[in-house]
Structure 1
């Protein structure tokens, strides 16, 4: 079988060394079989192993091959739809639980990094940048909302203050979250995988799940083997394919693009982002950027609905980079890549259980770095019989995309065009 390798990204080129991992051959028995060695799967595996479970992880390609190893590397709190939307959607007790969990994922990441000595260039501080007065008003309301849930590491910034943290005239203000920050996302995944193995977990690479035999003791089949388990956790997200058709109907893979410059001089890097914070703007189709550990600018944005790989990623993203930082017009782009995330119609995570023993979490909708780490804890709690927090997520309503799989791409793209136009016109 042909081996799937990492895309030609900056993250893959600068990844920490890792040991070779086996393919699954033959039959294995375990307590929990996890499908997917991205953040959701690895976080779940770690929490389960720390609780005494026997865990095996199946990965179709390599650890962190999907969104976990390709994303913007930003630690951003809450969910793709914020707590105020959840408060309008569900009962107060459920909303309270989900609100309390909205800031937990970032804490879990930092705990993992410290506990397992993961080398992934962790930096503190993330900025939400406002382009319009309306967006600034939203940030003011967001600060009050988050503070109501006990999250207080926030600072509103006017035009002068934001200019002190990012060297562009693009923004009228913003909000700094010091519990936000950024990491090398693939190295975080690789460090978590090493932690899983240090606790006795086994990760099989190049071992895609092709069929789940449901029943009292489900069996997950791969091309060369199978795993019999007491529980299965499905953590494949945008790279799951049609393994579970009832989940595929309520989600859609989407691509986001990232480019990385050549290394910048210390002076230039410091002039762009003096405090080394990461930045994302408040547009519907947002731009996000930060400095890498070796002083490159990593700049991402754009959405391709249906997860096609664009022919020229640099042509899509570089104009936005130069609009933000025209001083980089002569800087070379060393890497450009695309990565898929999984979108739900509500843009809230899709969490639940199939039968008594198959659990799933997916659909982070572009807001997955922190949520996936929380999801691992919540899934592990549910397998231990503590399901209150799991049920809070599982109770979120989810709907199929209008038009089914045939028309979900054009319908969603039309909606995104509408919101993008609103951003440009400032209403």
Structure 2
């Protein structure tokens, strides 16, 4: 099966989030000629963060979305507000130098702060809760978490609490973990309701969102940029491209920079308050620290939402539930045979360096992508940085834009096969507890 590509009539995937969303939008398609200060392509977290930050400063914003608001990763992810990039601060320091590590370390909690702030400011109902847990299977995992806690403290972050084997059982009703670490500055929420709430916030600020209007061509010259769709076009001073894993080939310069990777999720039938709280007594979300990890949390209606696994190239497994159920029942044997009501898949954009990318194509087109599975907070942060650049402060933008991007070995044709080989190696390390 080929990687998923949005089109004008793409419905939301049959996820728990789509079934429980609290806003049913009436999509408005782009027809005819429209002008704006800024045209943002892609109505997910990156695009909406950029747009809201700019609209708050008085810019006239038009968004163009191929399918519907939050149709891609923003509306079907694990719902976990996890700080940091995929590449660790230690990796960034070794690769790019201590100055860059300090720069990144000073802002990795900023994306979560944007989310918490907007939920409050704009009254977004998305079941937001505080706290996330990194769960460790082995003593080596615990050493790694202790080192991470010390490193983050070095960059001014003191929101982390180590948990030994007994302490983690106060938070997770499972016997499989050696310990873990809480990030009290993280959290979790209903991701589709968050992005729908952000769309409404943008519209209250005067922004206009055209849905079911895929970009077919992008042009720019010395004075303007033009986004073409099947039945219309937007002329703007600046265009921001935020298609991430679902951009396709419409901007060829960006296609080879990232690879779509699918991850899978499922939601059980409602478990009831008592059973759900026995699984996660303190209501925090969890992800383990393996390379190919599991992540899970309890929804507002007391379902367990459980995700994990990757498929390079962005294809979907034939049976999501069959893939995830053994992992869920390993962590929670008490859920053996429990009914699953929803199972779905979605793509994130992987960069080879595991560091998100932002940059410019010419003078009038900006882009951001490649969050590599850490897009909930990273996209909100990068949206703010893009807005700063467009308003004239290039400081943070230039620092990220200067980081070299590395093409996938084997190019577009063999990048998925190469990454699959790499994942087998890391899966073996996970299995051996290395």
Q: TM-score range by the shorter chain?
A: over 0.9
| Displacement of 1:174 | 0.4
RMSD, aligned CA: 1.0
| Displacement of 1:94 | 2.9
Partner of 1:329: 336
Offset from partner CA, 1:110-149 (integer Å, 9 cap, x none): 0010000000000111000011111111100100111111
1:314 aligned to 2:325? no
Q: In structure 2, which of residues 406, 422, 434 is the aligned counterpart of residue 399 of structure 1?
A: 406
1:423 aligned to 2:418? no
1:355 aligned to 2:362? yes
Partner of 1:369: 376
| Displacement of 1:393 | 1.2
Partner of 1:246: 253
Q: Tell me, yes or no, if the aligned pair for 2:294 and 2:307 is still in contact at 8 Å.
A: yes
1:210 counterpart SS class: strand
- Equivalenced residue count is 427
Q: How does 1:216-365 map to 2 (within 5 A)?
A: 216=222, 217-365=224-372
Partner of 2:172: 166
Q: In structure 2, which of residues 346, 367, 390 is the aligned counterpart of residue 383 of structure 1?
A: 390
Partner of 1:155: 161
Gaps of 5+ in 1: none
Q: Distance in 2 between matches of 1:279 and 1:395?
A: 34
Q: Distance in 1 between matches of 2:60 and 2:381?
A: 20
Q: Distance in 2 between matches of 1:245 and 1:138?
A: 39
| Displacement of 1:2 | 5.7
Q: Tell me, yes or no, if the aligned pair for 1:168 and 1:325 is still in contact at 8 Å.
A: yes
Gaps of 5+ in 2: 1-6
Partner of 2:14: 8
Offset from partner CA, 1:22-56 (integer Å, 9 cap, x none): 10000101011000000000010000000111100
| Displacement of 1:410 | 0.8
Offset from partner CA, 1:172-205 (integer Å, 9 cap, x none): 0100011111000000000000000000000000
Offset from partner CA, 1:285-307 (integer Å, 9 cap, x none): 00000000100000000101111
Q: Distance in 2 between matches of 1:421 and 1:14?
A: 37
| Displacement of 1:311 | 1.3
Q: Distance in 1 between matches of 2:256 and 2:194?
A: 31
Q: Distance in 2 between matches of 1:17 and 1:245?
A: 34
Q: Distance in 2 between matches of 1:102 and 1:320?
A: 30
Q: Tell me, yes or no, if the aligned pair for 1:157 and 1:176 is still in contact at 8 Å.
A: yes
Q: Distance in 2 between matches of 1:11 and 1:19?
A: 14
Q: Tell me, yes or no, if the aligned pair for 2:358 and 2:369 is still in contact at 8 Å.
A: yes
1:142 aligned to 2:134? no
Offset from partner CA, 1:2-33 (integer Å, 9 cap, x none): 62210000000000123313100001010110
Q: Tell me, yes or no, if the aligned pair for 1:98 and 1:393 is still in contact at 8 Å.
A: no
| Displacement of 1:370 | 0.4
Q: Tell me, yes or no, if the aligned pair for 2:133 and 2:182 is still in contact at 8 Å.
A: yes
Q: Distance in 2 between matches of 1:243 and 1:3?
A: 18
1:29 counterpart SS class: strand
2:316 counterpart SS class: coil
1:28 aligned to 2:34? yes
1:101 counterpart SS class: coil
Offset from partner CA, 1:34-83 (integer Å, 9 cap, x none): 00000000010000000111100000000000000010000000101111
1:165 counterpart SS class: coil
1:190 counterpart SS class: helix
Q: Distance in 2 between matches of 1:387 and 1:92?
A: 21
Q: In structure 2, which of residues 70, 76, 80 is the aligned counterpart of residue 70 of structure 1?
A: 76
1:259 counterpart SS class: strand
| Displacement of 1:92 | 3.4
